[in-house]
Structure 1
Amino acid sequence: MRTILIILTILFSGCTTIKPPVTEYSIIAKDLKIGNNAAGCKNKSLKIAQAFSSSSLMSLNMDYTEQGNRVFSYSKSQWQESPNSFVASQLLKSIRDSGLFSSVHSSKSRVKSNLILETNIEEFMQFYSQDMKSSFVHVVISLTLVDAKTDSVVANKTFSSKFDAKTADANGGVEALSSALSEIVSQNIEWLNGVCK
């Protein structure tokens, strides 16, 4: 009987595996300079279309690049929500907070809007130096403002931002990506402000 108990204990202990804890990260645009004096879009509504991006930016994997073109994922870190989702949500929040339009709606809204903002996330990546001792991030986002009635382009602009990471790890990358996204979100408000004048 004792032998059977020992065998069962060994079998069950061999089946259980302890997974290392995974740290989840989120990005929130901060220190935004939102303020405008344009009145041209106050009588128009805007819908933020679902962002276009590569499939890797639709997953929770936190990717980084080594030596120019080798892409890896952090094993103990991941996004709380996909970069595709939080870029769209930060654009929505910042534009709504700016008061530039009469109303701002998400892509899931059934409300018909006067204008549609299309977003293409071209790059959202942390890059490591060859010796892996330092890293920087590069974010490139293209935005197109579309007239919903005619499907014609009102204006388009590509924004690019690069920031050095304070630490060469996932946390440093997240902080740098937050700064890069914040810069682009602020620039987008200025651009929309100019388009509406």
Structure 2
Amino acid sequence: MKIDIGRAAFIALCVAAFSGCTLFSPVRIDTKEYVLDNIPHDLPNEQTHSATLLVLIPEAAPIYATRQMAYTTQAYQVAYFSQNEWAETPPQMIQPLIVEALRRTRYFSDVLSPPHFGRHTFVLHTEIMTLEQDFTTAPAMLQFAMRVSLIREATNKVIATSELSAREPMREGNAAAGVAAANEAMAKLLRELARFVVEKAH
């Protein structure tokens, strides 16, 4: 049987080319997205006052003002998960949770959020200080901390400031367990924040 050397060489070249495409084409990595959405049920239930409250979008350092999900395995170092991220930035997710939690206290006649400023009696300023999964401990812990300030609009003076923090143990050493712990911590901080605001607004 006579072999066409030229044809055989062409086929071999095509096979090599297709193999190269398979080997060097980028691998698709599916990224999982997570949310913070846990609002506690046992919030203060107050008599409604005529005061109104404007809740500003939380501030955050660049390290936490991103959809990337932060974690640490060594002191003074922070990294990000490659296949897990937040559905929105933490400030974007947390601000509507704060608004809804404070509305449920019924203390204020209205709780506003930008861009709908309207007339308001108080302003709530918040800052995300820490939101990361800490794998330097056993079990791993979720660290969540915020600084909150209540301001009287008429005088533009800070009435009170507080630092709220929570450390929640993670059931497993992965991103999903960290998100579950973050939602538990979120509920605790919202509960503390609601009590703080209602008490200081009296």
TM-score by length of 1: 0.87
Q: How many residue pairs end up in the alignment? A: 193
Task: Please give the alpha-carbon distance, in whole angstroms, between the structure 2 residues aligned to 1:171 and 1:137.
Answer: 11
Matched, 1:139 2:148: no
4+ runs deviating over 4 angstroms: 1-15
Does 1:187 pair with 2:192? yes
Counterpart residue type for residue 72 of structure 2 = T
Taking the aligned partners of 1:166 and 1:126, their CA distance within structure 2 comes to: 12
- 5+ residue gaps, structure 2: 1-6
2:104 is matched with which residue? 97
Give the superposed CA RMSD: 2.1
Distance 2:126 2:47 in 1: 22
- What SS does structure 2 have at the residue aligned with 1:58? coil
Shift of 1:107: 2.3
> Relative to 1, partners in 2 of residues 1:112 and 1:9: Cα closer, same or farther, differing over 3 Å?
farther
Amino acid at match of 2:156: D
Instruction: Give the counterpart letter for 2:56 in structure 1.
Output: A
Q: Which residue of 2 aligns with 1:196?
A: 201
Larger-Rg structure: 2
Match of 1:177 in 2: 182
Identity %: 17
Tell me what 1:20 maps to: 29
8 Å contact from structure 2 (residues 134, 140) kept in 1? yes
Equivalent runs, 1:139-178 vs 2, <5 Å: 139-178=144-183
Letter aligned with residue 28 of structure 1: D
* Displacement after TM superposition at 1:80 (Å): 0.4
TM norm structure 2? 0.85
- Do the aligned partners of 1:29 and 1:185 also contact (CA within 8 Å) in 2? no
Alignment partners' CA distance in 2, 1:191 and 1:93: 15
Residue aligned with 1:155, SS = strand
**SS at 2:63 equivalent:** helix
Report the Cα offset of residue 193 of structure 1.
2.2
Give the 5 Å matches for 1:10-89. Answer: 13=22, 16-39=25-48, 42-89=49-96
Q: 1:118: how far off?
A: 0.3
